[in-house]
Structure 1
Amino acid sequence: MSHAKARNSSKALPMQLAAKVGSNVSRMEKLGVSRFDLADPYHLALTLGWGQFLLALIGLYLAINGLFALLYFIKPGSVSNLPAYSLVDAFFFSIETLATVGYGNMAPISLYGHVVSAVETFVGTLLTAVMTGLVFVRFSKPKAKILFADKPVLLWRKGRASLMIRIGNGRLHPLHEATVRITSLQTGDSPDGQRFRRSVDLKLARDDMPFFPLTWTLIHEIGPDSPLQDLLLPDSPSLQDSSSRLLVSVVARDPSLGAQVYSTQAYSGVDIAVGMRYVDAISSAPDGSSVADMRLLSSVEPDVEAPGH
């Protein structure tokens, strides 16, 4: 059985994945897997976009009604007041039966008609229950509203480089117990010429925030132990030209939802703004409260301490 599944999966069409990478879109492709796995309809129904989900729902609804309309159509006289060989009337009678409306103008009068209408009523009840559950699950999925700066920045403090990424809380209420990880995905060649990939977590000045109300600047100091240190050497490709990727993942608890929320963002080397710093996005109101302007989350300006300034 496992060999059969493997053979079937190898025939599946390539699946393209799109991941947002800063201001660009990085596309990945998987071979041997299918994007639409009919063997797992629940996952498929939850991962479709709302437009695709509604189109699939309408298509299924029309297909079921069309099937039962054909069953009424091929057996004239099974439904009272149903004109013989009128597919349109049979279709609308099927809609009324599936929805258990029953206006009374038409009704099954033969054993065949009663059996078909009974099966359709059962299918309609089951379809209503399943679709109600799927719509509820899609609406009730907790969603994070974490905002990410368009570009990481690379600046120097006291002669040492630091990589910074600013994130913001897009909700009007604070998030709790927020944790963050930045993973560097790098490619390289081994001594024997083999191409390899590795993922290394970057050490942050702070990777947790018990109370996350406004913005948070993630800081990784590029010291001797940093996996990014070699990219700053004179004889190495610059960080902007390298094939490395930065993946940022944030986990926090949303008290209004009573659930954990997740958000991720990816950056490529060309997204990094070298010698720049973030514009201050937080100001003080006359009453002393802090005001965060999320429109400035991605705004940068030249860093006066950068080499060459």
Structure 2
Amino acid sequence: MAPAQRRAPPVRLQKHGGIFTAVNPSDWIRHWRHPNHLMLAVPWPGFFGLIAAGYLLLNLLFAVIFWVDPHGIAGVAGETTSFLEAFFFSVQTLGSIGYGAFHPSSLFTHLVVTVESLLGLIVIALTTGMAFSRFSRSTARILFSEVVTVHDYDGEPTLMFRLANERRKTILEARVQAFLAIDERTSEGHRMRRLHPMLLNRDRSPLFLLTWTLMHPINEHSPLHGRTSEELLASQAELVMAFSGIDETLERPIYAHHNVPASQMLFGQGFVDMMQEEEGQGQCFDFANFNRTQPCPCSDPA
């Protein structure tokens, strides 16, 4: 008789960016298996907090080891080494500060000092490398419109959304991809979360400096063809967008992504033109109109 297999506990899911991801209160523990990823992923306060916690724990560990030999440290105030003196002796050793009044006086303490000095070099090198990696990492400041609009454009229903470059620095080889994430069922009744690619009129730009309006024609090749706003809401549809490009200043790739739920897909609305005419100043961009919409005619996407 085959042994009973251990059943894995169910995993709760949440939807993020149009895609379901696992949610488990104990999942954060798994990050400790990949400390490099953890140190790059946490925000700066968390990064410095982990560095400080690791530094404190390491010195506490070596303080306990030094405390094993009560006469191994010379220059202490009493006849034997106190735990506080052992701790600060470890701090001086790990940081290569120089002992001053404290110095090792036994073979055991000399050996521990040797190990801690070597470990201190490694810790400093790793910390410096992680801090440099965080500082040198390129971050995209791409602003996505809060809503998407659907209205007629050149006689065809068209979905539109906007991007803006918040840094106002040129991004080279910019590229945008759009997908419709929607719940569907197969002919056999299997429920699936699918990503349907959405063809854009122009998904690449050699230079991206200010704003960019992306257009997706809703024709027979579109995953939105024949779908009503009520059907999209019932299927928990979302528009998933991914941006990539090269920062001209740092010459490094940058990425950004965004998702818009079906509740923020505005049918019969169009974006207000950001190009404004001002007397005596000619044309100018009004970024206050980035998310503003106005009624526009929209035929049935079916």
TM-score between the two structures when normalised by the length of structure 1: 0.84
Distance 1:64 1:216, change over 3 A: same
Structure 2 distance, partners of 1:106, 1:33, is: 44
**2:241 partner amino acid:** V
Equivalent pairs counted in the alignment come to 290
Matched, 1:221 2:217: yes
Would you say 1:178 and 2:171 are equivalent positions? no
Q: Which residue of 2 aligns with 1:302?
A: 295
Q: Distance in 1 between matches of 2:161 and 2:27?
A: 35
Alignment match of 2:205 (pick from 197, 209, 222): 209
Q: Secondary structure at the match of 2:54?
A: helix
The answer to whether the 8 A contact 2:184-2:235 is kept is: no
Q: Residue 77 of structure 1 aligns to a residue in which SS?
A: coil
Residue 166 of structure 1, CA deviation: 0.5
What is the deviation of 1:175? 1.3
For 1:251, the aligned partner's letter is S
SS at match of 2:184: strand
> Cα–Cα, structure 1 residues 102 and 143, in superposed 2: closer, same or farther, change >3 Å?
same
After alignment, is 212-221 or 154-163 more displaced?
Answer: 154-163
Residue in 2 that maps onto 1:259: 252
Partner SS, residue 221 of structure 2: coil
User: What is the TM-score with the length of structure 2 in the denominator?
Assistant: 0.86
Structure 1 pair 266–230 and aligned structure 2 pair: CA distance change class (3 A): same
Alignment deviations for residues 1-50 of structure 1 (CA, whole Å, 9 cap, x no partner): xxxxxx8xx57x958777467xxxx8742579944333322122212222
What SS does structure 2 have at the residue aligned with 1:210?
strand
1:198 Cα offset (Å) = 2.3
3-state SS, counterpart of residue 98 of structure 2: coil
Classify the secondary structure of the residue corresponding to 1:226: coil
1:67, distance to aligned residue in structure 2 (A) = 0.7
- Contact 1:241 1:270 (C-alpha < 8 Å) held by counterparts: no
Q: Which residue does the alignment assign to 2:159?
A: 163
The alpha-carbon deviation at position 230 of structure 1 amounts to 2.2
Q: Which residue of 2 aligns with 1:40?
A: 34
Q: Which residue number corresponds to residue 241 of structure 2?
A: 248
Separation in structure 1 between the aligned mates of residue 294 and residue 185 of structure 2, nearest angstrom = 36
1:240·1:271 contact (CA, 8 Å) conserved in 2? no
Structural RMSD (CA): 2.8
* Structure 1 position 188 matched with structure 2 position 176: no
Q: Is the 8 A contact 2:66 2:86 kept in 1?
A: yes
Percent identity among equivalent residues? 29
1:296 offset after TM fit, Å? Answer: 2.9
8 Å CA contact 2:174–2:205 kept in 1: the answer is: yes
Deviations 1:232-268 (A, max 9, x none): 3xxx834344322211011111110111111110111
Contact 2:177–2:242 (CA under 8 A) maintained in structure 1: yes
Give the 3 Å change call, closer, same or farther, for CA 88–151 of structure 1 in structure 2: same
Per mean C-alpha deviation after superposition, the further-off stretch among 136-145 and 157-166 is: 157-166
Question: In structure 2, do the counterparts of structure 1 residues 44 and 276 end up closer, same or farther at CA, with 3 Å as the change threshold?
Answer: same
**Structure 2 CA distance for partners of 1:195 and 1:241, relative to 1, 3 Å:** closer
CA distance in 2, matches of 1:68, 1:31: 35
The answer to whether the Cα contact below 8 Å between 1:15 and 1:34 also exists between their aligned partners in 2 is no
CA contact (8 A) 1:215 1:292 kept: no
Cα distance in structure 2, aligned partners of 1:130 and 1:112? 27
Partners of 2:93 and 2:99 within 8 A in 1: no
Kindly tell me: are residues 66 and 16 of structure 1, through their superposed partners in 2, closer, same or farther at Cα, counting changes over 3 Å? farther
Residue 90 (structure 2) aligns with: 94
Other structure's SS at 1:231 match: coil
Aligned to 1:283: 276
Which 5+ residue runs of structure 2 have no aligned equivalent? Answer: 1-5
